[in-house]
Structure 1
Amino acid sequence: MTAPEASKGFAEEAQKPYSSKVRDELLRKPPRFERLRVGDGGRIVIPAAMREEMGIKPGDDLVAHVEDGVLHIISFEENLRRIQDEVSKYKKPGESVVDEFLAERRAMWDEE
């Protein structure tokens, strides 16, 4: 009698790739709502069409937060773009925050 082989990673089988016809159809009509199941350790799997719409792939970093009981997930890159867009309205045309910072530091170093 042999010992059962230990499973590696998720117990689920990997998702099969979509055919291009199905993929194109899904991308034209991305799912707005999907029913997901929480697995062992609190894991959820983001459906392929949603990952495609978000522009994420395995290994990408995500940012998540809960607001009023709702889980929001955004890609790190998209979150960075949104923050940059938000703070750009405070920057004056022709102004360089980096140049100002360096000038302040250089002035401080000369004083010491």
Structure 2
Amino acid sequence: MKAVRTKLGKGGRIIIPTAFRQNLHLETGDDIILHMEDNLIYLTTAEQALRTLQNKVKNYINTTGQDISLTDELITMRRNEAKYE
């Protein structure tokens, strides 16, 4: 999708063009997530942010077929680290 020019309104409001809203499946009142990196503002939905995080941790998911609790693993790691403090 190409870049479009828009205006900054009163109170810092930005109008997101219809094509962009439709592409992101945004409706009035939907929550969105903004973050800034290198002076660029990124906009995403909560669902897209969740999918991005899920993809990042996908490589760390248990593939042994055994039930593993990540919470228990973290507690065990912290207890082992505490032994050497």
The two structures have a TM-score, normalised by structure 1, of: 0.56
Distance in 1 (CA, whole Å) between partners of 2:3 and 2:60 is 36
* 1:45-69 Cα distance to aligned partner (Å, 9 max, x none): 1111101111221121111111111
Aligned mates of 1:52, 1:95 — CA distance in 2:
42
Aligned residues: 72
**Cα deviation, residue 85, structure 1:** 1.2
Q: Look up the SS of the partner of 2:23 in the other structure.
A: helix
Among 44, 53, 59, the alignment partner of 1:89 is 59
Instruction: Report 1:33-72 matches (<5 A).
Output: 33-72=3-42
Gaps of 5+ in 1: 1-30, 105-112
Give the whole-Å Cα distance in 1 for the aligned partners of 2:6 and 2:57.
35
Q: CA RMSD in A?
A: 2.1
Provide structure 2 residue ranges, at least 5 long, that are not aligned to the other structure: 76-85
Q: Calculate the TM-score normalised by the size of structure 2.
A: 0.72
Q: Shift in Å at residue 95 of structure 1?
A: 4.8
The structure number with the bigger radius of gyration is: 1
Q: Structure 1 vs Structure 2: percent identity of aligned residues?
A: 32
